[in-house]
Structure 1
Amino acid sequence: MNTIRCIAVDDEPLALTIISEYARKVPFISLEKVFTNATDALMYLQTEKPELVFLDIQMPEIKGIDLARIIQWKTAIIFTTAYSQYAVESYSLDAIDYLLKPVPFERFLQAVNKAAHYLQNEKITSSSNERNFLFVKSGYKAVKINFDDIFYIEGLKEYVTIFAKSQKVLKLDTLKNLEQLLPKNHFVRVHKSYIVNLNHVKASFGNTIEINDKQIPVGRAYKEVVKMLLKI
């Protein structure tokens, strides 16, 4: 089994100590860094690419749930928290697992084994599907769209509209499904109804970003993380 590169984010030093001790007991886990706040973790994730993040939910400034909305495309996530009421929301973000504190080692081991299985399947899928475009079924035909040409994507209930350089494509799908197909280093969710291509952001002001003369709202839950990504 390949070694899994990890980080841990938690504002409680004791929780980080426990995760560090547990990680040392698992031969295929390499805990490379720990953070006591989400802001520092996000800055680290701009340049480094750990495969797994142990993420607390209740933290100051940027909460774990908000950070997860941004990084869920970039890395696998295991939530660690003392609050059971966030379980449903965490699974809506496709988290690998949800660990309630205090976390027994057996439960930690179960979670990292799930992560290892998931990441192995992801590597197989990505190695066979590396490309810079996607085909989108719209009406009676499949339309090819280059990732670089996409400005932003807007979701409305069971439909999404892809706004690209030379076309606008309406597709029967959800943002959540579509975002799994997009390159994780360029596309980011900024609102419950919008995904944007960071390469096409022209300006940012207030709770709004501008792409191709379109003003796109930034949701409250995404605001701090978007500011960090844009280095504002």
Structure 2
Amino acid sequence: MEKITIVGIDDEYPALELIKQYCNRISYVNLLDTFQKPEEALEYLQKHRVDLMITDINMPYLNGVELLQKLEYKPLCIFFTLETRYAVKAFELDVVHYLVKPVDFETFAKAVKKASDLLQFRQAIDKKKKEDFIMFKSNYVMHKVFLNDILWVEGLSEYIVLVTALKKYVILERMSNFVKNYESLDFIRIHKSFIVLRAHIQSFGTNSVQLTSGHSLPLGRTYKNALKGLSKKLID
């Protein structure tokens, strides 16, 4: 598991020492620094991106809520505090957890684990977005095309034509095989001869599907049920 980077912020020294002790007991935690003065923490966080900040709320000059709101980027946040009146505000700020002192190690560790899991999930989503492409051979050359660039795929007997805004690729492959190979990428069949990415459908009507690119494709009668889950307006 990749380590999650953390800073601790609390104007009370014993609370900071407790955060240090607890973090040192968690193998996947990298505690970068701790601060008793929130204004110093703000200066540090404006220069260094961290995954998670664990902060008190009621602190002089700058409270934990204000500190989080002043940051241009939003690290994950756990409030570690005696205060209970900020719980609603914490919810509005998408705070990972709200720990009310005193906090035992098991409760603290669960909150950090929740933050770590959320961070890994976000990173996996970002990675998937960056790597969403397909590789195929056309005219004896291997091509890489990103999913967002694919307008539609048209089947022509033993061949398919993969259409992008700039180019068409003729591929020796049956439509049924293409659908099977890339079913996890959310392609949807709208006609016996056409498939598109679900995310590229703008609207559909009785006999046609309108794409976000502005193109219109035929809609086969037997494929309408596959579109019923889409919240799209009728175009016919």
> How has the CA–CA distance of structure 1 residues 122 and 70 changed in structure 2, closer, same or farther, with 3 Å as cutoff?
farther
Give the structure 1 partner of residue 170 of structure 2: none
Q: How does 1:26-37 map to 2 (within 5 A)?
A: 26-37=26-37
Equivalent residue for 1:223?
none
1:97 maps to amino acid: H
Contact 2:68 2:74 in 1 (8 A): no
Distance 1:105 1:14, change over 3 A: same
- Secondary structure of the structure 2 residue equivalent to 1:7: strand
Contact 2:54–2:80 (Cα < 8 Å) also in 1: yes
Local SS of the residue matching 1:74: coil
Which has the higher Rg, Structure 1 or Structure 2? 2
Report 1 or 2 for greater relative contact order, CA contacts < 8 Å, sequence distance ≥ 6: 1
Cα distance in 2 between the residues matched to 1:42 and 1:128: 32
Pairwise mapping of residues 23-62 of structure 1 onto structure 2 (< 5 A)? 23-62=23-62
Assess if the C-alpha contact under 8 Å between 2:54 and 2:78 holds in 1. yes
Q: Distance in 2 between matches of 1:45 and 1:129?
A: 27
- The corresponding residue for 1:87 is 87
Percent identity over the alignment? 35
Cα RMSD of the aligned pairs, angstroms, is 2.7
Summarize the Cα distance change of 1:54–1:36 in structure 2 as closer, same or farther, 3 Å threshold.
same
Q: How does 1:1-232 map to 2 (within 5 A)?
A: 1-71=1-71, 73-129=73-129
Q: TM-score, normalised by structure 1?
A: 0.54
**Aligned length, in residue pairs:** 138
Q: Which runs of 5+ in 2 are unaligned?
A: 131-210, 213-236
- Which amino acid in 2 is paired with 1:15? A
TM-score by length of 2: 0.53
Q: Which amino acid letter does the alignment assign opposite residue 23 of structure 1?
A: C
CA distance in 1, matches of 2:128, 2:66: 31
Counterpart contact for 2:9–2:37, Cα < 8 Å: yes
Q: Which runs of 5+ in 1 are unaligned?
A: 131-140, 143-232
Q: Distance in 2 between matches of 1:79 and 1:58?
A: 10
SS of residue paired to 1:60: coil
